[in-house]
Amino acid sequence: MSPTALVTGAGRGLGAGIARLLSADHDVLIGGTTADSVATVAEELLTATPWPVDLTDADALRAATADIESLDVLVHNAGVADLGTVEELSLADWRHTFEANVFAVAELTRLLLPALRRAHGHVVLINSGAGLRANPRWSAYAASKFALRAFGDALRQEEPDIRVTSVHPGRIDTDMQRAIVAGEGGEYDGSRYLTVDTVARAVRQAIDTPADAHPTEIVLRPR
């Protein structure tokens, strides 16, 4: 029986790249907000199953996780980036950012802890360079990623039978990055950024690390 992995935000970009690499030897649940958002990747991969759910809807999340009895890998990739100065960002912006980047991660992990414990599983948190430092206009996003790192640090100590890896990539050449650069008023040049495949391979390497080692943190920067 193949191990099972759940990748959130796997309908495109980095999440899809991670799902493709894991599908070689895992049964992969393709997480996304809607059925349409995950259909293409789920159909592409023979060992994949669509897993559409709004991660910020607690009731929907509870129902979607109810039948997952054992889980070897949980990759938290879904997230949002609301950028602006402290003066510009509203309370609603801050709440939106933390709902997606922190609260949804914490609740999904909590619901899946029995399944992860049963498999001696691995939780991978796709964090950011912004989880290590904060720059102008990135206050809400960076604060959410600092919180995500703290969540991972606590989970790692509380659950000794589960491995927890925080991955801090620099900017990645994705559609989300295009939107960020457009919001910053810059000109997009994907060659300046990490490729999806590079970051996905780093995640796969962490998951493949032999069981006697615990890869706690990975930091990647464009050369």
CA geometry: angle 55, 60, 62, nearest 5 deg: 95
Three-state SS sequence of the chain: CCCEEEECCCCCHHHHHHHHHHCCCCEEEEEECCHHHHHHHHHHCCCEEEEECCCCCHHHHHHHHCCCCCCCEEEECCCCCCCECCCCCCHHHHHHHHHHHHHHHHHHHHHHHHHHHHHCCEEEEECCHHHCCCCCCEHHHHHHHHHHHHHHHHHHHHCCCCEEEEEEECCECCHHHHHHHHHHCCCCCHHHCECHHHHHHHHHHHHHCCCCCCCCEEEECCC
Per DSSP, what are the bridge partners of residue 50?
30
List the catalytic residues.
141
How is residue 180 written in tokens?
């960020």
